[in-house]
Amino acid sequence: MLKSTGKYFLTWDEAFQFGVEQAGGKGWNLGRLAQYGFKIPMGGVLTTRAYDEFIKHNGLQNMVKDISQLVTAGNIDEIKNQDRLNQLREKIKASSIPQLIAEELKTRLDSLGILERPLAVRSSASAEDSAKASFAGIHESFLNVRGLDNILESVKGCYSSLWSNQAIVYRRKLTISDDEVIPGVVVMEMVEAQAAGVGFTCDPQSGRRDILVINTNFGLGETVVTGTVEPDTYYLDASPWNAVPRLIERKTGRKEGTTCLKKDGGTQFVRTTDYSTRQVLSDEQIEKLGLLLLRVFEALGDCDQHQDVEWVFDGRDFILVQARPVTALPQKTFAALKNQPDFWSNGNYRDAVPMVLSPLNRRLAINTIDTILKFNFTETDYPLPEGLQFSRFLNGRLYCNLSALQWAMYDAMGSLPRDFNAGWGGHQPEIELKDPKPFEGLIGLKRIERGIKYNDLVNEATKNALAIHARVVGSINDLTKDGFRHLSDKDFIQLYNDLGKISIGFAGEFSFLSGAASIAIGGLIKILMEYFAYGTPMIINGLMVGGTADITSADHGYKLVELAEIARQDNDAILFLTGPDFDPMGWEEQLPGRSPFKQAFREFLKKYGHRAVYELDIINPRWKEDPSYLMDIIRSTIKTADLAKLKAKQKEKFEQAWREIENKVPSSMHSSIKKLIREAQEGAAVREKTKSVMALLMEAYRMIAQEVGSRFCERGIIEKQGDIYFCTWPELVTILNGEWEGDGLRALVAERKIFMSEMEAIAPPDIIMGDTPKYSEPALRSSDNFLTGVPVAAGRASGTARLIRHPDEGSRLQPGDVMVAPSTDPGWTPLFLKASAVIMETGGFLSHGAIVAREYGIPAVVNIPGVMRVIKEGWKVDVDGDEGKIFLR
């Protein structure tokens, strides 16, 4: 962004380039809207430099300095300070705007063709309309200003309003210095308004972020902004399952009158009852405006900072006249937590979405996760506060409101925070409970009742898992089997809505399917703690090895071992995989049809090709599109792959754990333990299969994006097909339905690419306390030179430490190395085939890495704070998956 300009007046394009320091908050936001393809009135902004020149030209510096140094919020009402402020305001109004500034303003407005047209002259101070302070209603605006002389007087009126009582007090209360608030002035054409109003991309009253609120009246928006009348109010469902926000409630206001333009300048309020029963906008217009508001939210707010938008409807189009961040959105939580700070954790989320999410995926991801979490409570009849937010973004990454989740789990079903944290993974504090006796009294009985209902829902979902998975997979296949090339642009909108119906339904079912195994494991812990105490996790780890059920994420690893064994016996495959010109993308062309490896790999992709590394972000290519990662695994294990040895190793660990049970646990309990083991293994399989189905659902969204990206690229709307992932669904829908040609989209894409790159470079904090990021301290090395974590997969192994931050770095991992990772998702599974052991910063007993490590029979220790900073690349380490210790050599 440019730092200074020799100009006093900036067009919208120039305001965008020179930024808030020159254009002020309102002017810069309007410049951004223009740059991104939104319709705004013709005009521009008189720069903050013009104000500085005005103050110097009229010798007002000392008066300004005295007020800044002497007037406070506490003494502003003193007579001497009121005199200071009155004198400065009168001086400003009586002073002249330097001729050079006035002439440039006249010339530029004339060149825009609006000098003699009715104009709006509005304050645009440098700290105004920012995320820190809105200054709503603090500074003056003038409407229907006609002629240069009146424009100049209105400019001085904006300057003068900087020194009103309310402006001074507002700045002092927010500790904003006077030097930070230098006024620019927006000068733009008045729009002939059939209707106007304000739109919020959230509900500012309830705090709900999935609701849009629109207030409107006939005529100019002044009656709405000032509260002169009771406007119409419309509420829209803004969840991402619908291509266009859906009108869910309308309140027809009394609309006691309208504001219109006066012939000689200014505005007038006309009282009338003619409009009291009429709806200002049609339902179709309301939803069209809702889609526009979402575009503003995602363009100016990066899908995080909600927006307060002023708009005008001229009978044909919606024109935006202001947009600013919502600065006072209530943070809803439980009454019991009001005196405790919110803490947000990326523990557990890091398994699935550790990365900065692509713009196309952000609203899908955050709404899907919140829906999954909320279903756990709403379906067990536990009331959540309206507007409670379980997920949020920080620097493009997802975080969970863990304080609210801990309380909800405690208050709903009696789960203590420490127990919840143990399963959640990550490194976070616990909420304070005054008297943690969750099952006493009537409240305790209610918690037991909800816990039973939750278990019933999990058991029911587990029992019906095959049918649920088959139904969802069938529905997705019905939508995608014929491809999308034959569809018209508008057909994609219906396709998106159909996919949304599948998504919202499956998100609710996911809540309980993902709980499969937890009940059985809880039962095992309860039985075995009596006999093994703190050795219980080690025993359970052994029992969970080599489950009889088909654990999907582990299964595709087994298939890769088989593929490596097949390749070892296939001369064509050996030549392809070990040749000097190895090209993993060329396997179809370079391998002959007779190759057993080629045939087997083709079958593998049919079954698992929808999976990917970090597959919950649709920006990431699926394995069927780019199998390079898989080919590298096969290539590096072709000499060592031995599925029989892996299975024998698993059997040995299971038998060892079972011998321990036979030695210590009464035989009368053996059958119950075996039943729980089987249920836990089957539950783990259900949990992983459910993730696979979710990946298939995400692939369907990616398929839509790929086809739309190809079309937009052909039409020149975007530069490359892959740029589609730096767009948002409301932007795509608006283009697909013919309401926007996509002008400005390339600028948005370019900015979002820079944003993602910058955010990826920022180390994500483990915890956010309120709004303050906190980083976990690295695990301390004990006097015995070992680190302690949570043991999740039994056994002991030694090897060279390889720090793998992303699966793309997997080629550095050699067979027998110890993989040290921040977290893992199913896309990491093939790397487990090469590792002798796994160490992770986060994770719990049922996290993906734990399940796969147990299945492959390799030791794993998780939840070690800062382990990526403690262990150095190439160190020799011993991993004890029984005791949860890492010995450093």
* pLDDT tens figures, 471-481: 999 999 999 99
What pLDDT score does 811 carry? 87
* pLDDT tens figures, 240-260: 999 999 999 999 999 999 999
What pLDDT score does 289 carry? 98
**Residues shown for the chain:** 889
Residue type, 286: I
For residue 397, what are the β-bridge partners? 394
Judged by average pLDDT, the poorest of 224-233, 488-497, 514-523 is 514-523
Distances (CA, A) of 580 to 576, 584, 601, 627, 692: 9, 12, 21, 18, 35
- Burial annotation 699-728 (CB, 10 A radius, 16+ → b, else e): bbbbbbbbbbbebbbeeebbeebebbbbbb
User: In 10 A of CB 626, how many CB atoms?
Assistant: 15
Judged by average pLDDT, the poorest of 121-135, 158-172, 307-321, 648-662 is 121-135
The residue to which tokens 């206001």 are assigned:
253
* pLDDT tens figures, 548-579: 545 555 778 889 999 999 999 999 999 999 99
* pLDDT tens figures, 70-109: 999 999 999 999 999 999 999 999 999 999 999 999 999 9
Average pLDDT of the chain?
Answer: 92
Q: What percent of the chain has pLDDT over 70?
A: 97
pLDDT of residue 719 exceeding 90: yes
3-class DSSP assignment, residue 764:
coil
What pLDDT score does 549 carry? 43
* pLDDT tens figures, 100-125: 999 999 999 999 999 999 999 999 98
Token reading at 304:
């995080």
Using CB atoms within 10 Å of the CB of residue 806, give its burial: 0 to 12 exposed, 13 to 18 middle, 19+ buried. middle
pLDDT of residue 652 exceeding 90: no
Token reading at 489:
């642009």
Q: What percent of the chain has pLDDT over 90?
A: 71
Q: Let me know the angle formed at the C-alpha of 667 by 666 and 672, rounded to the nearest 5 degrees.
A: 100
What pLDDT score does 5 carry? 56
Distance between CA atoms of residues 369 and 382, nearest Å: 18
What the chain holds in terms of domains, given with CATH numbers, is 1-190 (3.30.1490.20), 191-330 (3.30.470.20), 335-463 (no CATH), 550-666 (no CATH), 786-888 (3.50.30.10)
List alpha helices for 379-440, DSSP H: 402-413, 417-424
